[in-house]
Amino acid sequence: MNIIDGKMISSKLKEEYREKIANMKMKPFLVMIRIGDDAAAEIYVKSKGKTCLELGIPYSELHLNADITQEELLSQIDELNADDKVTAILIESPIPYHLDILEAFDRIDPKKDVDGLNSINLGNLAGNHPIFTPATPLGIMRLLKEYKIEIEGKRCVVVGRSNLVGRPMALCLLNANGTVTICHSRTKDLRDITKEADILVVAIGKPKFITEDMVKEGATVIDVGINRIPDSKKIVGDVDFDNVKDKCSYITPVPGGVGPMTIISLIDNLIRTVNE
C-alpha cells in the first residue's frame, strides 16, 4: 500500500508556479464571489486567497448579501465580465437556495471561468479539448500522473455524479483512455461494480461509505470526501481508510490527499486565463 501525498505534490507545484508567476509580464486577477455568510464558503475563500497571496496573484472578494436576487447576481457577473482587469471569476459554493447557481456559472465569460463549470467549458471537456477543467478532477489527474498510475485501458469507477466532481472526473478519465463507469444514488449492485475498479474515485459526502469488501485487491482508491464527525474535530473521507488501505496499491488519505490539490489546480487555471 502506497499513500498518495497530495500535500507534498501541491507544495512542489506551488514552488513551480511561484517562479512561473514571478516571471509573468501580466498576472491573472481573480474575483471570488461569496454570497451570504456560509461558514464553509468563507473558509474556502480565505484559503484560496491565502494561496494567491503566497504566489503573488492579485485577487479580491466580492461579498454579496444573502438576499440578493438572481437578476442582481447576474448583473454583478456581467460587470466583472466587462472589466478587462479581471481575468478570472469564480462563485464560491454553497450559495443561498433561492439562487440558480447553474445559470450563474453559465453567465460567466468562458474565458474567465476558472472553475470550469460553465456549460461551454464542460462541453469542451466532454469533447476532449478542455481549456479549464474543474479543479478537483484536474488535481486528481495530476496526482495519478505524479505517481505514474496508468489510466489507459484500466477499469475506472467514479462514485458520485455532481457537476463539480463526479461528471467532469469521469470525462477526464475517459479522455485518458480509461474504461469508465459512473455510479450514483440510484445504482444497483454498487458493490459488484466498485469491486471491478482498477481506479476507484469516490465523491459522495458519506463518511466511511466505501469498505474493504467494496474494493478490488491492488486497486487505486481516490477519496474526495471531507466529512466532519459530529461532536468531534475529526475529518474523515468517503472511504473507510483504515479498513481499506491494506487492500490497495495506492490510496489518498483524508485530509492531505485530494484537498491540497484542488487549490493548486485552481492556480493552474488562473495562469491559463492570461496565457490562453
Split at pLDDT 50, 70, 90, the class of 1 is: confident
Domain at 26-110, CATH class: alpha beta
- Closest C-alpha to 258, from 208, 221, 215: 221
Where do the domains of the chain lie?
Answer: 26-110, 135-258
Interatomic CA distance for residues 98 and 67, integer angstroms = 9
Averaged pLDDT of the chain: 95
pLDDT digits (tens, 9 = 90+) for 159-193: 999 999 999 999 999 999 999 999 999 999 999 99
- Tens-digit pLDDT profile for residues 76-122: 999 999 999 999 999 999 999 999 999 999 999 999 999 999 999 99
Question: For position 233, what pLDDT does the model report?
Answer: 77
**Contact predicate 146/220, CB 8 Å:** no
Residues near 81 by beta carbon (within 8 Å), at least 6 away in sequence: 89, 107, 108, 109, 112
Task: State the Cα–Cα distance between residues 116 and 112, nearest whole angstrom.
Answer: 9
Grid coordinates given for 90? 469564480
pLDDT digits (tens, 9 = 90+) for 122-160: 999 999 999 999 999 999 999 999 999 999 999 999 999
Counting residues of the chain whose pLDDT is more than 70, the rounded percentage is: 100
Ramachandran bin of 242, using left for φ above 0, alpha for ψ from -120 to 50, beta for the remaining angles:
alpha
Rounded to an integer, what distance in angstroms lies between the CA atom of residue 10 and that of residue 271? 16
Long-range CB pairs of 190-197, under 8 A, 24+ apart, other chains included:
190/159, 190/214, 193/157, 194/157, 194/159, 196/155, 196/157, 197/155, 197/156, 197/157
pTM for the full predicted model: 0.93
Beta bridge partners of 89: 31, 113
pLDDT in tens, 258-275: 999 999 999 999 999 997
265, 51 Cβ separation under 8 angstroms: no
Distance (Å, rounded) from C-alpha 253 to C-alpha 241? Answer: 7
Closest CA to 99 of 43, 170, 152, 34: 34
Supply the pLDDT for residue 40.
Answer: 77
Tell me, what's the pLDDT at 276? Answer: 53
Q: Which residues contact 149 (CB under 8 A, 6 or more apart)?
A: 199, 220, 250
Query: Hey, do 26-110 and 135-258 end up sharing a CATH topology, with the first three levels equal?
Result: yes
Q: What letter does residue 231 receive in the DSSP assignment?
A: T
Q: Could you tell me the three cell numbers for 26? A: 501580466
Query: What homologous superfamily does CATH list for 135-258?
Result: NAD(P)-binding Rossmann-like Domain (3.40.50.720)
Q: In 3D, which of 118, 131, 130, 52 has the Cα closest to residue 91?
A: 118
Q: Is the peptide bond before 94 cis (omega within 30 degrees of 0)?
A: yes
